[in-house]
Amino acid sequence: MQHEIEDIEYAEYLFDRFYGIGSSENGGVTRLGYTEVEDEMHRVFRELGEEKGYGSYEDQVGNTYLYRKDCDMDEDYCLIASHLDSVIEGGRYDGVAGIIAGFLVMDWAVKSGLRIPVRIGAMRCEESSNFGRSTIGSGLITGEVYKHDIGEAVNKKGETLSEVFRRKGYSLHPDRIQGVREYIELHIEQGKVLEEYGDRVGIVQTIAGPRRFNIHIHGNAEHSGATPMGMRADALCAAAEIILEIEEIGKSESIYQSVATVGTVSNRPNALNVIPGEVELGVDMRGIDSSSLDRMETRLKQACKRICEKRKLKYFREKISDIPPIGMSADLQQKLLEAAKELKIPHRPMISGAGHDAMSFAHICDTAMVFIPCAKGISHNKKEFTTIESICDGAKVIYQYLKEEAR
Ligand SMILES: [Zn+2]
Protein backbone atom coordinates (compact mmCIF):
# COMPACT_ATOMS: atom_id res chain seq x y z
CA MET A 1 0.00 0.00 0.00
CA GLN A 2 1.02 3.60 -0.53
CA HIS A 3 1.95 5.62 2.53
CA GLU A 4 1.73 9.34 3.15
CA ILE A 5 5.05 11.06 2.59
CA GLU A 6 4.81 12.72 6.00
CA ASP A 7 4.45 9.32 7.70
CA ILE A 8 7.52 8.00 5.90
CA GLU A 9 9.47 11.11 6.84
CA TYR A 10 8.38 10.97 10.46
CA ALA A 11 9.35 7.27 10.72
CA GLU A 12 12.70 8.04 9.14
CA TYR A 13 13.24 10.88 11.56
CA LEU A 14 12.51 8.60 14.53
CA PHE A 15 14.86 5.94 13.19
CA ASP A 16 17.63 8.53 12.69
CA ARG A 17 17.28 9.82 16.24
CA PHE A 18 18.18 6.38 17.59
CA TYR A 19 20.68 5.61 14.83
CA GLY A 20 23.97 6.65 16.36
CA ILE A 21 23.35 5.42 19.89
CA GLY A 22 25.59 2.48 20.75
CA SER A 23 27.09 2.34 17.25
CA SER A 24 30.00 -0.04 17.00
CA GLU A 25 32.92 0.26 14.62
CA ASN A 26 31.82 -2.62 12.43
CA GLY A 27 28.55 -0.89 11.56
CA GLY A 28 26.17 -2.56 14.03
CA VAL A 29 24.92 -1.39 17.42
CA THR A 30 25.54 -2.62 20.96
CA ARG A 31 22.79 -1.41 23.27
CA LEU A 32 22.88 -3.86 26.15
CA GLY A 33 20.04 -3.92 28.66
CA TYR A 34 20.49 -1.84 31.83
CA THR A 35 23.61 -0.07 30.55
CA GLU A 36 24.11 3.65 29.95
CA VAL A 37 23.59 3.07 26.24
CA GLU A 38 20.13 1.66 26.89
CA ASP A 39 19.47 4.58 29.27
CA GLU A 40 20.30 6.92 26.41
CA MET A 41 17.83 5.11 24.12
CA HIS A 42 15.11 5.61 26.71
CA ARG A 43 16.07 9.24 27.22
CA VAL A 44 15.68 9.88 23.47
CA PHE A 45 12.39 7.92 23.50
CA ARG A 46 10.98 10.28 26.12
CA GLU A 47 12.38 13.31 24.31
CA LEU A 48 10.63 12.22 21.10
CA GLY A 49 7.43 11.95 23.10
CA GLU A 50 7.88 15.44 24.52
CA GLU A 51 8.33 16.80 20.99
CA LYS A 52 4.82 15.55 20.25
CA GLY A 53 3.41 16.87 23.51
CA TYR A 54 2.98 13.42 25.10
CA GLY A 55 3.41 12.80 28.79
CA SER A 56 6.01 10.26 29.91
CA TYR A 57 6.87 8.20 32.95
CA GLU A 58 9.17 5.41 34.07
CA ASP A 59 8.09 2.38 36.09
CA GLN A 60 9.95 0.74 38.98
CA VAL A 61 12.22 -1.30 36.72
CA GLY A 62 13.08 1.42 34.19
CA ASN A 63 10.58 0.66 31.43
CA THR A 64 9.36 3.96 29.96
CA TYR A 65 5.96 4.97 28.63
CA LEU A 66 4.39 7.76 26.61
CA TYR A 67 0.75 8.78 26.86
CA ARG A 68 -1.60 11.37 25.49
CA LYS A 69 -2.14 14.15 27.97
CA ASP A 70 -5.76 14.53 26.86
CA CYS A 71 -6.58 10.93 27.85
CA ASP A 72 -8.04 9.87 31.16
CA MET A 73 -5.16 8.18 32.99
CA ASP A 74 -7.54 5.91 34.91
CA GLU A 75 -8.99 4.40 31.77
CA ASP A 76 -7.66 1.02 30.55
CA TYR A 77 -5.41 1.40 27.54
CA CYS A 78 -3.89 -0.38 24.58
CA LEU A 79 -0.14 -0.67 25.08
CA ILE A 80 1.88 -0.65 21.88
CA ALA A 81 5.37 -1.60 22.91
CA SER A 82 8.69 -3.21 22.15
CA HIS A 83 12.26 -2.86 23.41
CA LEU A 84 15.20 -0.52 22.87
CA ASP A 85 18.13 -2.76 23.82
CA SER A 86 20.06 -4.90 21.37
CA VAL A 87 22.39 -7.87 21.30
CA ILE A 88 26.15 -7.33 20.98
CA GLU A 89 26.83 -5.83 17.54
CA GLY A 90 23.22 -6.28 16.55
CA GLY A 91 21.00 -4.46 14.08
CA ARG A 92 19.02 -1.24 14.31
CA TYR A 93 15.51 -2.58 13.68
CA ASP A 94 15.07 -5.31 16.29
CA GLY A 95 12.86 -3.63 18.89
CA VAL A 96 13.16 -0.13 17.46
CA ALA A 97 10.78 -0.99 14.58
CA GLY A 98 8.04 -1.67 17.14
CA ILE A 99 8.73 1.59 18.94
CA ILE A 100 8.52 3.54 15.67
CA ALA A 101 5.21 1.78 14.93
CA GLY A 102 3.97 2.93 18.33
CA PHE A 103 4.79 6.56 17.50
CA LEU A 104 3.03 6.28 14.14
CA VAL A 105 -0.12 4.76 15.61
CA MET A 106 -0.21 7.35 18.39
CA ASP A 107 0.28 10.15 15.87
CA TRP A 108 -2.60 8.91 13.70
CA ALA A 109 -4.77 8.41 16.76
CA VAL A 110 -4.16 11.99 17.90
CA LYS A 111 -4.72 13.48 14.45
CA SER A 112 -7.99 11.66 13.91
CA GLY A 113 -9.22 12.12 17.48
CA LEU A 114 -9.47 8.36 18.05
CA ARG A 115 -11.17 7.75 21.38
CA ILE A 116 -9.24 4.60 22.33
CA PRO A 117 -6.50 5.36 24.88
CA VAL A 118 -3.13 4.28 23.52
CA ARG A 119 0.25 4.31 25.21
CA ILE A 120 3.66 3.53 23.80
CA GLY A 121 5.92 1.39 25.95
CA ALA A 122 9.67 0.77 25.77
CA MET A 123 10.63 -2.34 27.70
CA ARG A 124 14.04 -2.83 29.31
CA CYS A 125 16.54 -5.59 28.70
CA GLU A 126 14.56 -7.80 26.35
CA GLU A 127 17.67 -9.49 25.00
CA SER A 128 19.58 -12.00 27.08
CA SER A 129 22.94 -10.64 25.90
CA ASN A 130 23.85 -8.76 29.07
CA PHE A 131 22.48 -10.81 31.96
CA GLY A 132 21.87 -14.16 30.28
CA ARG A 133 18.15 -13.62 30.94
CA SER A 134 15.66 -12.22 28.47
CA THR A 135 12.57 -10.01 28.87
CA ILE A 136 13.66 -8.76 32.29
CA GLY A 137 11.78 -5.43 32.18
CA SER A 138 8.47 -6.83 30.93
CA GLY A 139 8.84 -10.02 32.97
CA LEU A 140 9.24 -8.19 36.26
CA ILE A 141 6.23 -5.90 35.86
CA THR A 142 3.96 -8.74 34.75
CA GLY A 143 5.18 -11.02 37.53
CA GLU A 144 6.61 -13.46 35.03
CA VAL A 145 10.21 -13.47 36.12
CA TYR A 146 9.57 -15.33 39.33
CA LYS A 147 12.93 -17.02 39.42
CA HIS A 148 14.23 -16.36 42.91
CA ASP A 149 17.75 -15.84 41.63
CA ILE A 150 17.05 -13.21 38.95
CA GLY A 151 18.79 -10.65 41.16
CA GLU A 152 21.89 -12.83 41.10
CA ALA A 153 22.05 -12.81 37.29
CA VAL A 154 25.44 -11.38 36.36
CA ASN A 155 26.13 -8.96 33.50
CA LYS A 156 29.07 -8.71 31.14
CA LYS A 157 30.93 -6.53 33.65
CA GLY A 158 30.48 -9.02 36.48
CA GLU A 159 27.82 -7.00 38.31
CA THR A 160 24.66 -8.65 39.56
CA LEU A 161 21.23 -7.39 38.54
CA SER A 162 20.61 -6.58 42.23
CA GLU A 163 23.66 -4.31 42.29
CA VAL A 164 22.65 -2.59 39.06
CA PHE A 165 19.09 -2.10 40.33
CA ARG A 166 20.30 -0.68 43.63
CA ARG A 167 22.52 1.78 41.80
CA LYS A 168 19.72 2.86 39.47
CA GLY A 169 17.06 2.93 42.17
CA TYR A 170 14.92 0.17 40.61
CA SER A 171 13.08 -2.62 42.40
CA LEU A 172 13.33 -6.36 41.79
CA HIS A 173 9.84 -6.66 43.25
CA PRO A 174 7.88 -3.95 41.44
CA ASP A 175 4.13 -3.47 41.47
CA ARG A 176 2.36 -5.28 38.70
CA ILE A 177 1.52 -3.06 35.72
CA GLN A 178 -2.09 -1.85 35.86
CA GLY A 179 -4.72 -0.91 33.30
CA VAL A 180 -3.36 -2.66 30.20
CA ARG A 181 -6.42 -3.73 28.25
CA GLU A 182 -4.36 -5.21 25.47
CA TYR A 183 -0.75 -5.38 24.39
CA ILE A 184 0.29 -5.17 20.74
CA GLU A 185 3.88 -5.46 19.54
CA LEU A 186 5.18 -4.96 16.03
CA HIS A 187 8.49 -6.67 15.40
CA ILE A 188 10.70 -7.65 12.49
CA GLU A 189 10.16 -11.33 11.76
CA GLN A 190 13.84 -12.32 12.23
CA GLY A 191 13.20 -15.16 9.81
CA LYS A 192 12.49 -15.59 6.10
CA VAL A 193 8.90 -16.81 6.03
CA LEU A 194 7.24 -13.52 5.01
CA GLU A 195 9.88 -12.81 2.40
CA GLU A 196 9.64 -16.34 0.94
CA TYR A 197 5.84 -16.10 0.63
CA GLY A 198 5.84 -12.48 -0.52
CA ASP A 199 3.63 -11.41 2.39
CA ARG A 200 3.94 -7.98 3.96
CA VAL A 201 2.59 -8.70 7.42
CA GLY A 202 2.44 -11.76 9.70
CA ILE A 203 0.03 -12.15 12.59
CA VAL A 204 1.57 -14.32 15.28
CA GLN A 205 -0.37 -17.32 16.57
CA THR A 206 2.13 -18.81 19.02
CA ILE A 207 5.52 -17.78 20.37
CA ALA A 208 7.91 -20.68 20.70
CA GLY A 209 8.99 -21.30 24.27
CA PRO A 210 12.73 -21.25 24.92
CA ARG A 211 14.20 -23.93 27.14
CA ARG A 212 17.77 -23.10 27.99
CA PHE A 213 20.54 -24.95 29.73
CA ASN A 214 24.09 -24.44 30.85
CA ILE A 215 26.23 -27.54 30.72
CA HIS A 216 29.46 -27.48 32.71
CA ILE A 217 31.98 -30.16 31.81
CA HIS A 218 34.95 -30.78 34.08
CA GLY A 219 38.10 -32.46 32.81
CA ASN A 220 41.77 -31.98 33.71
CA ALA A 221 43.77 -29.00 32.50
CA GLU A 222 47.19 -30.53 31.88
CA HIS A 223 50.22 -29.97 29.70
CA SER A 224 49.29 -30.63 26.09
CA GLY A 225 52.81 -31.90 25.29
CA ALA A 226 53.52 -34.00 28.35
CA THR A 227 50.15 -35.77 28.77
CA PRO A 228 49.77 -38.90 26.60
CA MET A 229 46.53 -39.28 24.67
CA GLY A 230 45.35 -42.18 26.81
CA MET A 231 45.71 -40.22 30.07
CA ARG A 232 43.60 -37.20 29.24
CA ALA A 233 40.32 -35.84 30.41
CA ASP A 234 39.63 -33.29 27.68
CA ALA A 235 36.48 -31.30 28.43
CA LEU A 236 36.36 -29.64 25.00
CA CYS A 237 36.34 -32.95 23.14
CA ALA A 238 33.33 -34.06 25.20
CA ALA A 239 31.71 -30.70 24.49
CA ALA A 240 32.26 -31.20 20.75
CA GLU A 241 30.41 -34.52 20.87
CA ILE A 242 27.58 -32.98 22.85
CA ILE A 243 27.25 -30.08 20.40
CA LEU A 244 26.87 -32.43 17.44
CA GLU A 245 24.38 -34.56 19.34
CA ILE A 246 22.28 -31.47 20.09
CA GLU A 247 22.26 -30.63 16.39
CA GLU A 248 20.93 -34.14 15.68
CA ILE A 249 18.25 -33.76 18.35
CA GLY A 250 17.10 -30.49 16.79
CA LYS A 251 17.05 -31.98 13.29
CA SER A 252 14.99 -34.97 14.32
CA GLU A 253 12.39 -32.74 16.01
CA SER A 254 12.26 -30.16 13.22
CA ILE A 255 9.02 -31.65 11.87
CA TYR A 256 7.38 -30.18 14.97
CA GLN A 257 8.99 -26.79 14.21
CA SER A 258 11.45 -27.30 17.09
CA VAL A 259 15.04 -26.11 16.97
CA ALA A 260 18.13 -26.73 19.13
CA THR A 261 21.31 -24.66 19.23
CA VAL A 262 24.53 -24.43 21.21
CA GLY A 263 25.09 -20.69 21.09
CA THR A 264 27.91 -20.21 23.58
CA VAL A 265 31.09 -22.09 24.42
CA SER A 266 33.47 -21.04 27.11
CA ASN A 267 36.69 -22.97 27.24
CA ARG A 268 39.16 -22.79 30.13
CA PRO A 269 41.99 -22.11 30.28
CA ASN A 270 41.73 -21.60 26.51
CA ALA A 271 45.48 -21.83 26.00
CA LEU A 272 47.19 -23.52 23.05
CA ASN A 273 49.44 -25.67 25.21
CA VAL A 274 46.90 -26.77 27.82
CA ILE A 275 44.29 -29.53 27.54
CA PRO A 276 40.86 -27.88 28.06
CA GLY A 277 39.98 -28.49 31.69
CA GLU A 278 36.59 -26.84 31.93
CA VAL A 279 33.98 -26.08 29.32
CA GLU A 280 30.62 -24.44 29.64
CA LEU A 281 28.02 -24.75 26.88
CA GLY A 282 24.91 -22.60 26.52
CA VAL A 283 22.06 -24.58 24.95
CA ASP A 284 18.93 -22.98 23.52
CA MET A 285 15.98 -25.19 22.56
CA ARG A 286 12.72 -23.80 21.20
CA GLY A 287 9.45 -25.04 19.88
CA ILE A 288 5.70 -24.56 19.89
CA ASP A 289 5.01 -28.19 20.85
CA SER A 290 5.58 -28.99 24.53
CA SER A 291 5.98 -32.73 24.02
CA SER A 292 8.62 -32.13 21.39
CA LEU A 293 10.45 -29.87 23.86
CA ASP A 294 10.16 -32.57 26.54
CA ARG A 295 11.67 -35.15 24.20
CA MET A 296 14.52 -32.83 23.31
CA GLU A 297 15.25 -32.19 26.97
CA THR A 298 15.28 -35.91 27.79
CA ARG A 299 17.62 -36.65 24.92
CA LEU A 300 19.90 -33.80 25.98
CA LYS A 301 20.15 -35.31 29.47
CA GLN A 302 20.88 -38.74 28.04
CA ALA A 303 23.53 -37.39 25.66
CA CYS A 304 25.40 -35.54 28.43
CA LYS A 305 25.35 -38.62 30.65
CA ARG A 306 26.44 -41.02 27.95
CA ILE A 307 29.22 -38.87 26.51
CA CYS A 308 30.66 -37.75 29.85
CA GLU A 309 30.52 -41.25 31.38
CA LYS A 310 32.26 -42.70 28.34
CA ARG A 311 34.99 -40.10 28.74
CA LYS A 312 35.02 -40.37 32.54
CA LEU A 313 34.31 -36.66 32.99
CA LYS A 314 32.23 -34.94 35.61
CA TYR A 315 29.48 -32.67 34.40
CA PHE A 316 26.73 -30.55 35.76
CA ARG A 317 23.64 -29.36 33.90
CA GLU A 318 21.45 -26.47 34.95
CA LYS A 319 18.21 -25.32 33.39
CA ILE A 320 18.35 -21.54 33.15
CA SER A 321 14.97 -20.95 31.57
CA ASP A 322 11.85 -22.88 30.77
CA ILE A 323 9.14 -20.80 29.18
CA PRO A 324 6.26 -22.78 27.68
CA PRO A 325 5.07 -21.94 24.16
CA ILE A 326 2.67 -19.04 24.48
CA GLY A 327 -0.44 -18.52 22.38
CA MET A 328 -1.52 -15.03 21.34
CA SER A 329 -5.12 -13.87 21.79
CA ALA A 330 -7.27 -15.66 19.17
CA ASP A 331 -9.68 -12.74 19.08
CA LEU A 332 -6.95 -10.17 18.46
CA GLN A 333 -5.31 -12.38 15.82
CA GLN A 334 -8.58 -12.57 13.96
CA LYS A 335 -9.19 -8.83 14.13
CA LEU A 336 -5.67 -7.98 13.01
CA LEU A 337 -5.95 -10.39 10.07
CA GLU A 338 -9.22 -8.69 9.13
CA ALA A 339 -7.55 -5.29 9.40
CA ALA A 340 -4.78 -6.40 7.03
CA LYS A 341 -7.38 -7.77 4.63
CA GLU A 342 -9.32 -4.52 4.77
CA LEU A 343 -6.15 -2.59 3.91
CA LYS A 344 -5.31 -5.08 1.14
CA ILE A 345 -1.90 -5.78 2.69
CA PRO A 346 -0.78 -9.36 1.89
CA HIS A 347 -0.71 -11.19 5.21
CA ARG A 348 -0.46 -14.59 6.90
CA PRO A 349 -0.84 -16.14 10.32
CA MET A 350 2.50 -17.56 11.53
CA ILE A 351 4.52 -18.68 14.53
CA SER A 352 7.34 -16.79 16.19
CA GLY A 353 10.51 -18.77 16.72
CA ALA A 354 12.03 -15.93 18.71
CA GLY A 355 10.98 -14.77 22.17
CA HIS A 356 9.48 -11.32 22.74
CA ASP A 357 8.13 -9.08 25.49
CA ALA A 358 4.68 -10.15 24.28
CA MET A 359 5.30 -13.46 26.10
CA SER A 360 5.30 -11.63 29.43
CA PHE A 361 2.14 -9.68 28.68
CA ALA A 362 0.23 -12.70 27.36
CA HIS A 363 -0.12 -13.76 31.01
CA ILE A 364 -1.95 -10.62 32.08
CA CYS A 365 -3.92 -9.34 29.09
CA ASP A 366 -4.97 -9.94 25.48
CA THR A 367 -1.76 -9.89 23.50
CA ALA A 368 -0.89 -9.83 19.80
CA MET A 369 2.15 -9.51 17.60
CA VAL A 370 2.46 -8.12 14.10
CA PHE A 371 5.50 -9.24 12.13
CA ILE A 372 7.02 -7.41 9.20
CA PRO A 373 9.62 -8.90 6.84
CA CYS A 374 13.33 -8.31 7.31
CA ALA A 375 15.76 -8.71 4.45
CA LYS A 376 16.86 -12.35 4.00
CA GLY A 377 15.62 -13.09 7.49
CA ILE A 378 18.86 -11.68 8.94
CA SER A 379 18.65 -10.41 12.50
CA HIS A 380 20.90 -10.01 15.55
CA ASN A 381 23.44 -8.84 13.02
CA LYS A 382 24.59 -5.48 11.63
CA LYS A 383 23.12 -6.48 8.25
CA GLU A 384 19.61 -6.58 9.73
CA PHE A 385 17.31 -4.51 7.53
CA THR A 386 13.68 -3.73 6.95
CA THR A 387 12.12 -0.83 5.09
CA ILE A 388 10.38 2.15 6.63
CA GLU A 389 7.43 1.24 4.36
CA SER A 390 7.23 -2.17 6.05
CA ILE A 391 7.09 -0.52 9.48
CA CYS A 392 4.29 1.72 8.16
CA ASP A 393 2.44 -1.35 6.79
CA GLY A 394 2.46 -3.05 10.19
CA ALA A 395 1.56 0.15 12.03
CA LYS A 396 -1.36 0.71 9.64
CA VAL A 397 -2.71 -2.76 10.45
CA ILE A 398 -2.60 -1.99 14.17
CA TYR A 399 -4.21 1.40 13.63
CA GLN A 400 -6.92 -0.06 11.39
CA TYR A 401 -7.77 -2.55 14.14
CA LEU A 402 -7.98 0.25 16.75
CA LYS A 403 -10.16 2.31 14.43
CA GLU A 404 -12.58 -0.63 14.10
CA GLU A 405 -12.60 -1.04 17.90
CA ALA A 406 -13.39 2.62 18.41
CA ARG A 407 -16.51 2.43 16.28
ZN1 LIG B 1 13.47 -7.97 19.61
- Domain of 100, CATH number, reads 3.40.630.10
Q: Specify whether 14 is located in the same domain as 155.
A: yes
Please give the distance, rounded to the nearest whole angstrom, from the Cα atom of residue 78 to the centre of ligand 1: 20
Number of domains the chain is built from: 2
Q: Which domain holds residue 10?
A: 5-208+325-406
Please give the distance, rounded to the nearest whole angstrom, from the Cα atom of residue 231 to the centre of ligand 1: 47
Q: Specify whether 224 is located in the same domain as 161.
A: no
pLDDT in tens, the chain (407 residues): 789 999 999 999 999 999 999 999 889 999 999 999 999 999 999 999 999 999 999 999 999 999 999 888 899 999 999 999 999 999 999 999 999 999 999 999 999 998 889 999 999 999 999 998 899 999 999 987 665 678 999 998 999 999 999 999 999 999 999 999 999 999 999 999 999 999 999 999 999 988 999 999 999 999 999 999 999 999 999 999 999 999 999 999 999 999 999 999 999 999 999 999 999 999 999 999 999 999 999 999 999 999 999 999 999 999 988 888 999 999 999 999 999 999 999 999 999 999 999 999 999 999 999 999 999 999 999 999 999 999 999 999 999 999 999 88
Q: Specify whether 123 is located in the same domain as 195.
A: yes
Please give the distance, rounded to the nearest whole angstrom, from the Cα atom of residue 94 to the centre of ligand 1: 5
- Distance between CA atoms of 237 and 216, rounded to whole angstroms? 13
Please give the distance, rounded to the nearest whole angstrom, from the Cα atom of residue 187 to the centre of ligand 1: 7
Contact of 1 with 343, CB cutoff 8 Å? yes
Q: Specify whether 233 is located in the same domain as 310.
A: yes
Q: Specify whether 178 is located in the same domain as 34.
A: yes
Boundary of a domain, candidates 322, 357, 376: 322
Please give the distance, rounded to the nearest whole angstrom, from the Cα atom of residue 319 to the centre of ligand 1: 23
- Distance between CA atoms of 55 and 76, rounded to whole angstroms? 16
Q: Label residue 269 exposed, middle or buried (CB < 10 Å: 0-12, 13-18, 19+).
A: exposed
Please give the distance, rounded to the nearest whole angstrom, from the Cα atom of residue 245 to the centre of ligand 1: 29
Q: Specify whether 190 is located in the same domain as 238.
A: no
Domain at 217, CATH number: 3.30.70.360
Please give the distance, rounded to the nearest whole angstrom, from the Cα atom of residue 101 to the centre of ligand 1: 14
Please give the distance, rounded to the nearest whole angstrom, from the Cα atom of residue 4 to the centre of ligand 1: 27
Q: Specify whether 356 is located in the same domain as 220.
A: no
Boundary of a domain, candidates 322, 346, 377: 322
Please give the distance, rounded to the nearest whole angstrom, from the Cα atom of residue 298 to the centre of ligand 1: 29
Contact of 88 with 140, CB cutoff 8 Å? no
Please give the distance, rounded to the nearest whole angstrom, from the Cα atom of residue 16 to the centre of ligand 1: 18
Boundary of a domain, candidates 298, 322, 346: 322
- Distance between CA atoms of 118 and 406, rounded to whole angstroms? 12
Please give the distance, rounded to the nearest whole angstrom, from the Cα atom of residue 80 to the centre of ligand 1: 14
Q: Specify whether 130 is located in the same domain as 194.
A: yes
